[in-house]
């Protein structure tokens, strides 16, 4: 999508600290990290929210979690613990409307708000 900041990050038009890339998935450090480790995972294909991933494309979700497992290990938070979450629409506080998974760790995160 031409006007989407995360599409532009995945295409290299906007710079980022890239953590992982394959043909379907892109991962990069969050610009405003909520912990020592804060990585965002996106499908390269644009879906605005989790609601917008059609059933035939749902395997991308398990693929993203497989990559998240690998990155959590690489970042050294797989045993200490981390949080993965997806914000969807207004009440969650979703700000960027290209579906993305947060992986946050490296310190105790406390209870969910």
Catalytic residue numbers?
100
Give Cα 75 distance to the centre of its chain: 15
95 is in the binding site of which of ligand 5GP, Zn ion, none (Cβ under 5 to 8 A by kind)? ligand 5GP
| Alpha carbons 93 and 78: distance in angstroms, whole number | 26
3-state secondary structure of 70: helix
Name the phi and psi angles at 92, rounded to 5: -85, -20
Q: Applying CB under 6 A, which residues contact ligand 5GP?
A: 5, 16, 28-32, 40, 87, 93-96
* Closest CB 52 distance from ligand 5GP, rounded Å: 14
φ and ψ at residue 59, rounded to 5 degrees: -55, -20
Quick one: 49 or 60, whose CB is closer to ligand 5GP?
A: 49
Least distance (Å) between residue 32 CB and ligand 5GP: 4
């Amino acid at each position: 999508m031409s006007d989407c900041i995360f599409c532009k990050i995945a295409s290299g038009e906007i710079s980022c600290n890239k953590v992982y890339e394959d043909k379907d998935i892109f991962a990069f450090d969050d610009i405003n990290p909520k912990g020592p480790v804060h990585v965002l995972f996106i499908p390269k294909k644009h879906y605005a929210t989790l609601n917008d991933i059609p059933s035939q494309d749902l395997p991308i979700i398990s693929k993203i979690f497989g990559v998240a497992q690998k990155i959590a290990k690489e970042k050294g938070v797989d045993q200490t613990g981390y949080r993965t979450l997806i914000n969807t629409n207004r009440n969650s506080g979703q700000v960027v409307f290209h579906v993305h998974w947060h992986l946050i760790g490296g310190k105790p995160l406390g209870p969910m708000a």
